[in-house]
Amino acid sequence: MRVLAAMSGGVDSAVAAARARDAGHDVVGVHLALSAKPATMREGARGCCSVEDSHDARRCADVLGLPFYVWDMAARFSADVVEPFVAEYAAGRTPNPCLRCNEKIKFSAVLDRALALGFDAVVTGHYARLTDGVLRRAADAGKDQSYVLGVLTAEQLAHAVFPLGDSHKSEVRAEAARRGLVVAEKPDSHDICFIPSGDTRGFLDERLEQAPGELVDAASGAVLGRHTGVAGFTVGQRHGLGLDRPAPDGRPRYVLGIEPVSRQVRVGPAEELDVRSVAAGRPVWHAPWGTVDDVVVQVRAHGGLAPARVTVSEGSLTAELHEPLRGVAPGQAVVVYDDDRVLGSATITATA
């Protein structure tokens, strides 16, 4: 196959490209420039969008003997990932931009362009297993990224290659070193690539006209304090509420709900976070419509697993959880697993 390797400048995508080449594919490396004004140097372990990362990707391609280009995806990334990210927070929801990037950029804009230019597939350094169109969890449970790939359709998966699914991260790093790739020891990127400072709240404040509102006790309706704007709060959040008085029983309080219109943030005790039912929209489903029982749902990128009974129809998905989950935030994805197999995904709209 002619495959296009999306190379971030990190160790995973470099080894993925190398393995694709070793598998006999004709590989071309492409670094996606996602920021119109990239920083010159990477800041700490965060981000993958600096000129330094682009340089690292190029050096890996050089070492592997791959043709290499930079594709300017900044406008698409801004319109399809960053702007919706801000809008979702403004609406009181908690978006997952990595998932949207996979859905809208890597396996949409980039894949479409690659197919039109004569490539057969896009290869990435995601940790997930993909065989015969079936997406499964990675062998390395700590690195598994099937959650942020669950949104991909069968058509998208048909043109995806994930060469790292059977490997552990430590093996990938060792292999990078063996192959002479300078990124072998490069720290993992984490957090959100377009917020290299890690300050999501500050990022949102710069882009939204935030208005102050009240923090209210969910049970009594009593006003406990004020906040400077709803965007940035997440259901299940405990820290950064700015409440100087503890609850009467001395226990911590959590965000239970966010009301963007009234600008009220409802807070309460941990047990009020318990969710037994999840409603979600825009499902992508790889099994027959209907109900499946004894499956597992995952409601955030790390953790958040519960056995459930799931009913899917066109346009909606509901999950009745057999054990309660805490910190289930609208805007996040619910991904449904049968053992390690991804059955599908949808965007959480409501919980009960």
Partner 1 sequence: MTYLDHAATTPMLPVAVARYTEALGRVGNPSSLHTAGRRARKEVEEARETIAEAVGALPTEVVLATGGTEADNLALKGVFWARRAADPRRTGVVVSAVEHHAVLDAAEWLAEHEGATMHVLAVDAAGRVDPEELRALLAAHAGEIAVVSVMWANNEVGTVNDIRALADVAHSFDVPLHTDAVQAVGSLPVDFAASGADALSLTGHKLGGPVGVGALLLRRDASCVPLLHGGGQERDVRSGTLDVAGTVALAAAVRAAVDDAPRRTVELAALRDDLVARLVGEVPDATLNGVPLDAAPVGGGPARLPGNAHLSFPGCEGDSLLMLLDAHEIECSTGSACTAGVARPSHVLLAMGVDEAAARGSLRFSLGHSSTAADVDAAVAAIGPVVERARGALARS
Site string for partner 1, 26-45 (x = CB under 8 A): --x--x-x----x-x-----
Among 22, 43, 62, 72, binds partner 1 (CB under 8 A): 72
Nearer to partner 1, 119 or 162 (CB): 119
Nearer to partner 1, 34 or 333 (CB): 34
Binding to partner 1, residues 40-69 (CB under 8 A): 40, 51, 54, 58, 67, 69
Using CB under 8 A, which of the segments 107-115, 201-209, 212-220, 300-308 binds partner 1?
Answer: 107-115
190 to 12, 44, 128, 339: CA distances (angstroms): 13, 10, 17, 27
Report if residue 116 touches partner 1, rule: CB under 8 A: yes
Cα distance between residue 105 and residue 99, in whole Å: 10
Nearer to partner 1, 26 or 340 (CB): 26
Going by C-alpha positions, the residue among 59, 1, 7 that lies closest to residue 29 is 7
Report if residue 87 touches partner 1, rule: CB under 8 A: no
Structure token pair of residue 319: 């999950």
Q: What are phi and psi of 272, to 5 degrees?
A: -70, -10
CB of 75 to partner 1, least distance (A): 11
Please indicate whether residue 193 is annotated as part of the active site: yes
Helices (H), the chain: 11-22, 51-64, 74-77, 83-90, 97-100, 110-116, 154-157, 169-178, 200-207
Using CB under 8 A, which of the segments 109-117, 130-138, 150-158, 253-261 binds partner 1?
Answer: 109-117
Structure token pair of residue 302: 């790390």
CB of 38 to partner 1, least distance (A): 6
201 to 37, 241, 314: CA distances (angstroms): 21, 12, 35
Nearer to partner 1, 74 or 279 (CB): 74
Report if residue 207 touches partner 1, rule: CB under 8 A: no
Structure token pair of residue 99: 């998932």
Cα distance between residue 272 and residue 72, in whole Å: 46
Q: What is the number of residues in the chain?
A: 352
CB of 127 to partner 1, least distance (A): 27
Cα distance between residue 163 and residue 127, in whole Å: 8
Nearer to partner 1, 51 or 91 (CB): 51
User: Which residues carry out catalysis?
Assistant: 101, 193
Residues at the contact surface with partner 1, assessed by CB under 8 A:
28, 31, 33, 38, 40, 51, 54, 58, 67, 69-72, 74, 76, 109, 112-113, 115-118
